[in-house]
Structure 1
């Protein structure tokens, strides 16, 4: 379990460290914050696009062998990350890490299915979720301290050492023979990868290329339209083509890239939708808060770590302890309660957040969201695993990897586009109504590329214009108010999306583990057959 948990922590520590290192990378590479967001998206995009292929590699060659090999690749990618001289190489390193993660994600689920049964398996899945949260806590603490006093590079250097430790520990795993008869659906790999790439690129460039009409930053236009929304539509279309192709291949008796049994029932599809929602919301929060603390407030990575520590700790304990409630409440009840809690937390944050993240009301909001998020991620993952036989554990892992990482990419990209868009609207409206900042002065500043900047940087930009000291102070005030307003509205929109997610949560299984699906009268009369036990040792999803 230690080996499996460390494998999860490798990936989670890497992703969680990127927002903490945001300020340091902006200075080191002289790039805007959205470039660091691109690195997060690149990692998530690589995992989401190739994780189904990674699942088949695990089935064909055996999970322990694949696990060991990809951890080596991940460690080498972190070497490139640690010593990258340019932002391009940094993004490339994250892409390679994502390719390794694409095989690592399903191997973790396959190893758990191979080692544990029944209640132990549910506990192991909870431990896997806790390892993810624990890595987030460690990344924020270690990244905050090192980033403040030394720099961001040693943070990723730690992953080189941890990768070597995991490789050594992997030799203690139980051996597993691969299945050479497992075929790899090349067409399915291409369709899935293209769908994920189009969706990720589309969402990630909504702000730069335009939500509707093409902006000047768009690489090309389609009859004046931005290519970003077109990519999103095409990505959805390729996703549908992939599902149709997979259905035909499965009906023909050939091995599909993804066994559709893992998403055949309404409950399983609801679990996937719920997982996508909660991970996207987490990614949006994890991008928004460090952006605000480091860029808006100009505070240190350590301040970011301290501000996010309550959230990460609450995710850790919620993911670990939620399994204790599985005998008392149904997945449907827990799912609805989790999304209600997340919605309340985000609404609370929208009304109490100001320019001081150390305020107790803000900490309460982060803790509430962490409890809801940690509970939901573990819950929906457990629903998917226990509803499928052991031989499909790799497919469940690939489905989890695709959903989690596509959601993380979309959540990060949409948060960036949403906040920058809200900021631009607020700034332009304030300037249009402001008598102290005349159009002649505004024309000296690039208002076509408004983004989040610190007050010190804004003062430096204004110093190159004809602005008086009073006008500079007024521009800083406008910028400060606009940034806070953008963050508050962003939280409100996130809360609305969380409320909508209660709908798929209402389709989760309505029975407790060990219960016979169906009505109480049927169970009392004994007219309904006993539930079958899945190969994982848990009660199988009746659907």
Structure 2
């Protein structure tokens, strides 16, 4: 039992990092009410949490090399605990964003790269496969407990108690931090690359910000863009500026290496094919998972009118099957290569997504929906059972922290992109479908069509149909035309949701294309002392 003590601490930390987002996703309606805001504002807060983690994960991995992975892991837990306390007490939306999105995000960016490296350093061979299976399984457990616990607390008490509980868990982990062996000095205590850290964080931030705002600003054609450039929406220029900064980051890192200075990240790592493929697949997996976990609660809460606890119950099957499939990693590694398992996972995901498309209707078929969610969790779990071990086993000991930072950068960038991308798809498809339906509806007069068109140009929100009815009544729209508009709005909502889910299917197809570089042989017991391949 003693050899698994480190995994207890590391696995609990992984559980915490996943719990937050799943709690927030099922609490969207209550958060909108508590902070007197809109769904898009909560979407921004959720996205910002993942964005902060993605933006600073590379920096966190580098700090782990400089100051020791266990030391940074402990410091990150302290920061995370402070953020949880701030979130639990947040009186305003801005305080929520500060405590949860920023402070907790920074704490997670310190914890997760160190966590990945500490797992790889503590275990070898078959034990490492087991350890990463447990880590993946606990990530699934966080997704399982989050909707159910968060939904129950949100419906009957308050979502704030989740973050009080996180503070308690952080204190408990710090009390047994000694179970993790102190990692030896890495010999890389060089000067910190502040320029590289700033370029990478700013570049990632602008890319995700542009995608997030595309639903309100418009992607190319301006809708509610604060400014227009050459007749185009600001969105494309924000994304372009982010890409330019990331290109500058890569050039700067090469410049440092050429002059014998230690960079923030060694881009030679991307020449390691299994690592490169593993990171790409992780990006796709989390884009799909967090995107769907944003869109599906909207369907359940806004369209179906379920409360947070009822939503959590309906999300439970995906979480249970993801947990079980994630824990199957050691068994699967005996009978199939990682590439085969991951490709099977994507195939199962596509089946689940097609199934979900048939269940998004005005009246939910609970049995069909629950079965589709269970299949979705199975596909996600098959991916989670392999990818952590693939990424860490593809590099040597000196590159553990960098590989860990890249691993969690991919995961959290995928989470941020998933929430932003799905949100943009839902709103854009909703606006387009509603505009077309109103234009083609003979029950709606020309004057009301014109009035609706002006309103749609300024943006549209994803809200319950009864709120639309109240707003139309306040605007003086005749009852007959109001009924027609509410009917068309409800139909357009389903179109928006189906478009987003279809988008997730497209990402799954793209993910399959990146599996070619994953290991095609079953992992065998490494020779004593083997720790993976060093970068070129």
Q: Could you say which TM-score interval applies, normalised by the shorter chain?
A: over 0.9
User: Is this contact kept in 2: 1:350–1:489, CA < 8 A?
Assistant: no
Q: 1:205 to 1:145 in 2, by over 3 A?
A: same
* 1:42 to partner: Cα distance: 0.9
Equivalent-residue separation in structure 2 for 1:439 and 1:88 (angstroms): 42
Corresponding residue for 2:470? 460
Structure 2's unaligned 5+ residue stretches are 1-6
Corresponding residue for 1:142? 149
RMSD (CA atoms): 2.1
Equivalent-residue separation in structure 2 for 1:58 and 1:283 (angstroms): 27
Q: How do 1:79-228 and structure 2 match up within 5 A? A: 79-93=85-99, 94-179=101-186, 181-183=188-190, 184-216=192-224, 218-228=225-235
For the pair 1:342 / 2:349, whether they are aligned, the reply is: yes
Corresponding residue for 1:528? none
- The counterpart of 1:382, out of the listed 371, 389, 397, is 389
Equivalent-residue separation in structure 2 for 1:534 and 1:180 (angstroms): 19
* 1:508 to partner: Cα distance: 1.5
* 1:542 to partner: Cα distance: 11
Q: List per-residue Cα deviations over 1:397-422 (Å, max 9, x = no partner).
A: 10011111111111110100101111
Equivalent-residue separation in structure 2 for 1:424 and 1:466 (angstroms): 22
User: Is this contact kept in 2: 1:430–1:478, CA < 8 A?
Assistant: yes
Equivalent-residue separation in structure 1 for 2:352 and 2:186 (angstroms): 47
What is the number of equivalent residue pairs in this alignment? 525
* 1:256 to partner: Cα distance: 1.9
Q: Which moved more, 1:178-187 or 1:426-435?
A: 178-187
Q: List per-residue Cα deviations over 1:20-47 (Å, max 9, x = no partner).
A: 1101011111211111111111111111
Equivalent-residue separation in structure 2 for 1:113 and 1:342 (angstroms): 28
For the pair 1:26 / 2:63, whether they are aligned, the reply is: no
3-state secondary structure, aligned to 1:506: helix
Equivalent-residue separation in structure 2 for 1:288 and 1:369 (angstroms): 14
Corresponding residue for 2:506? 496
Q: 1:356 to 1:379 in 2, by over 3 A?
A: farther
User: Is this contact kept in 2: 1:284–1:412, CA < 8 A?
Assistant: yes
Equivalent-residue separation in structure 2 for 1:256 and 1:305 (angstroms): 44
* 1:155 to partner: Cα distance: 2.5
Equivalent-residue separation in structure 1 for 2:21 and 2:481 (angstroms): 40
Corresponding residue for 1:505? 515
* 1:389 to partner: Cα distance: 1.2
User: Is this contact kept in 2: 1:47–1:402, CA < 8 A?
Assistant: yes
Q: 1:56 to 1:235 in 2, by over 3 A?
A: same
Equivalent-residue separation in structure 2 for 1:458 and 1:54 (angstroms): 45
Q: How do 1:363-374 and structure 2 match up within 5 A? A: 363-374=370-381
Corresponding residue for 1:526? none
Equivalent-residue separation in structure 1 for 2:339 and 2:529 (angstroms): 20
For the pair 1:438 / 2:445, whether they are aligned, the reply is: yes
Q: Which moved more, 1:279-288 or 1:224-233?
A: 224-233
Q: 1:316 to 1:67 in 2, by over 3 A?
A: same
Equivalent-residue separation in structure 2 for 1:69 and 1:436 (angstroms): 63
Corresponding residue for 2:76? 70
Q: Which moved more, 1:14-23 or 1:348-357?
A: 348-357
Equivalent-residue separation in structure 1 for 2:251 and 2:336 (angstroms): 36
Q: List per-residue Cα deviations over 1:214-246 (Å, max 9, x = no partner).
A: 333x23332222222222223223323323332
* 1:252 to partner: Cα distance: 4.1
**TM-score, scaled relative to structure 1:** 0.92
Q: List per-residue Cα deviations over 1:435-488 (Å, max 9, x = no partner).
A: 222233345553332121102211211221323333333222212211112222
Q: 1:170 to 1:358 in 2, by over 3 A?
A: farther
- The counterpart of 1:54, out of the listed 49, 60, 75, is 60
User: Is this contact kept in 2: 1:279–1:408, CA < 8 A?
Assistant: yes
Q: How do 1:2-21 and structure 2 match up within 5 A? A: 2-21=8-27
Corresponding residue for 2:3? none
Corresponding residue for 1:361? 368
Q: Which moved more, 1:317-326 or 1:439-448?
A: 439-448
* 1:151 to partner: Cα distance: 2.6
For the pair 1:44 / 2:44, whether they are aligned, the reply is: no
Corresponding residue for 1:523? none
Q: List per-residue Cα deviations over 1:52-92 (Å, max 9, x = no partner).
A: 11112112222222111211111111121112121122112
Equivalent-residue separation in structure 1 for 2:433 and 2:36 (angstroms): 26
User: Is this contact kept in 1: 2:349–2:379, CA < 8 A?
Assistant: yes
Equivalent-residue separation in structure 2 for 1:26 and 1:162 (angstroms): 27
Normalized per residue, which structure has more helix? 2
Equivalent-residue separation in structure 2 for 1:97 and 1:86 (angstroms): 17
Q: 1:376 to 1:115 in 2, by over 3 A?
A: same
User: Is this contact kept in 1: 2:425–2:499, CA < 8 A?
Assistant: no
Equivalent-residue separation in structure 1 for 2:247 and 2:157 (angstroms): 48
Corresponding residue for 1:241? 248
Q: Which moved more, 1:87-96 or 1:274-283?
A: 87-96
* 1:308 to partner: Cα distance: 0.6
Corresponding residue for 1:414? 421
User: Is this contact kept in 2: 1:307–1:358, CA < 8 A?
Assistant: no
Q: List per-residue Cα deviations over 1:487-536 (Å, max 9, x = no partner).
A: 22322232122112211112212222139xxxxxxxxxxxxxxx977743
Equivalent-residue separation in structure 1 for 2:402 and 2:360 (angstroms): 41
Equivalent-residue separation in structure 2 for 1:33 and 1:69 (angstroms): 33
Corresponding residue for 1:447? 456
Corresponding residue for 2:4? none
For the pair 1:289 / 2:289, whether they are aligned, the reply is: no
